[in-house]
Amino acid sequence: MDFNDVIATLDSNQPVAIREDKPPIPAGFQPLPKRDRIPRVGQIACGTPILAEENVEAYDEVPSDWHADFTLLCKGDSMEPKIKDGDVVAIHCQPMVENGEIAAVLIDGEATLKRVFLFDDHIELRAENPAFATIIRIGEAMNTVAIEGKAVGLCRKL
């Protein structure tokens, strides 16, 4: 039905059939995944830890299958090349991670994003960027470290 047919139908007070089916997805493309809208609650250091402040600054849409609870804006370059300054990282709240996973971590109330390695007598928080020293807490000092959650995805502007 072209434009003139629609006008003729309207002039004769006849109902107009509107197609509600979606156009087919072109070959080689996939539909967008189901998404969740989750809060961006602040910034996280990718470098020297920064004071953790949880205020909802914005909302981000991330794939539902990430099971993310909130996002954080990354500041710094300690996690480069994997995670860059300005990336938005999605976090799933959980108090423990597997060795080698990237997590949002609080150290004495300051937040940082690092790879976590837990041993019987110490914890290591490692940067991806070799220019940054590993943060190590031994014995009782391990109690100053709290894992807020696992990094499950990131968003980056092109």
Greatest Cα-to-Cα distance within the chain, rounded to the nearest angstrom: 85
**Catalytic residue status for 150:** no
Q: Which position among 12, 22, 75, 78 bears the catalytic label?
A: 78
Q: Which position among 22, 75, 82, 114 bears the catalytic label?
A: 114
**Catalytic residue status for 114:** yes
3-state SS of 55-97 is CCCEEEEEEHHHCCCEEEEEECCCCCCCCCCCCEEEEEECCCC
Instruction: Please tell me whether residue 23 adopts helix, strand or coil conformation.
Output: coil
Using CA atoms, how far apart are residues 143 and 97, in angstroms rounded to an integer? 16
Judged on CB neighbours under 10 Å (0-12, 13-18, 19+), 44 is: buried
Residue 154: closest CA among 100, 82, 75: 82
Catalytic residues: 78, 114
